[in-house]
Amino acid sequence: MPIDLNGDLGESYGRWQVVDDRALMVALSSVNLACGFHAGDPSGLRLAVRAALDHRLAIGAHPSYPDLRGFGRVAMALPPEQVRDDVLYQLGALQALCHAEGETIRHVKPHGALYHAVADDPATAEAVGEAVASFDVTLPVVVRSRSRGAEVLEEAGLQVLREAFLDRQYRNDGRLVPRSRPDALVTDPVEIAERAVRLATEGSVVAIDGTVLSLAPHTLCLHGDGRDAGAVAIRVRDALEGAGVEVRAGTT
């Protein structure tokens, strides 16, 4: 079974540059590009689209709550129809920039607090599902594996790409240990690579309490803002390929 390696990029804004997008791109098979609501001014996004195409990556949209200052990580009680229309607006905006470079959006992955709301709150999952369905019903949505949101989106007739995280610890119910906790992150590159191989070959991860969780992911997320993110990503890819796993996008 092949697996996708995705990363969240295009997260610069104006003068504030996130420097090593390209270091991470070498190892990935797909990227989720910010759409202007948590990061990504139009010209910066266009450069990110070009960089992704240079690396032959599948480009997905990474829509967010409107929250530049909080980088889309602030939970917000928005009415579902606003969430729906905000996502549509962002999909269209990124699509136009992709189209100008001869490409098209291949998937949608909600960002930050919206990602978590899609996973855990059915009304938000439905709102995002309506946005995607009215934009392009064939577009897959990346959702946390074992989440209620994954079920809601599948029931709505959308293709779901189940996602697992390589550098985040899991609780035994399939949720992530919150970033506010000191043990939230997995930082050892060797351990990250081992988790990747186990997730790709057996579909499982060991939760923080020792429980073996079956996640059966289609795609594995690598964060780009950690230390040595590029080097970690290459190690993960090498480990996967060394274990005979094909790394490629678009596998549902």
- Candidates 50, 54, 56, 96; binder of its own copies (CB under 8 A) is 96
Contacts 24+ apart (CB under 8 A), 77-83: 80/123, 80/124, 80/126, 80/127, 81/127, 83/114, 83/124, 83/127, 83/128, 83/131
Q: Is 19 in the site for its own copies (CB under 8 A)?
A: no
Helix (H, G, I), strand (E, B) or coil at 93: helix
User: Closer CB to its own copies, residue 13 or residue 235?
Assistant: 13
Write down the least CB distance from residue 58 to its own copies, Å: 19
Residue 110: which of 182, 37, 178, 56 has the closest Cα?
37
Q: In 10 A of CB 103, how many CB atoms?
A: 17
Sole window of 14-22, 147-155, 191-199, 211-219 interacting with its own copies (rule: CB under 8 A): 14-22
| Phi, psi of 238, rounded to the nearest 5 degrees | -60, -40
The site map against its own copies for 22-41 (x = CB under 8 A) is --------------x----x
Site residues for its own copies, window 172-201 (CB under 8 A)? none
What's the CA dihedral at 44, 36, 163, 186 to 10 degrees?
70
Please name the helix (run of DSSP H) or strand (run of DSSP E) that holds residue 163, with its range, or none. Answer: strand 160-165
- Candidates 52, 97, 239, 247; binder of its own copies (CB under 8 A) is 97
Q: Is 137 in the site for its own copies (CB under 8 A)?
A: no
Please name the helix (run of DSSP H) or strand (run of DSSP E) that holds residue 82, with its range, or none. Answer: helix 80-100
- Candidates 5, 24, 34, 45; binder of its own copies (CB under 8 A) is 45
Q: Is 99 in the site for its own copies (CB under 8 A)?
A: yes
Q: Is 207 in the site for its own copies (CB under 8 A)?
A: no
User: Closer CB to its own copies, residue 88 or residue 206?
Assistant: 88
Sole window of 21-29, 67-75, 194-202, 228-236 interacting with its own copies (rule: CB under 8 A): 67-75
Q: How far apart are CA 129 and CA 126, in angstroms?
A: 5
- Candidates 1, 14, 26, 50; binder of its own copies (CB under 8 A) is 14
Specify the residue for token string 């295009």.
Answer: 10
Binding site for its own copies (CB under 8 A): 13-16, 18, 36, 41-43, 45-46, 66, 68-71, 73-78, 81-82, 85-86, 88-97, 99-100, 113, 131, 134-135
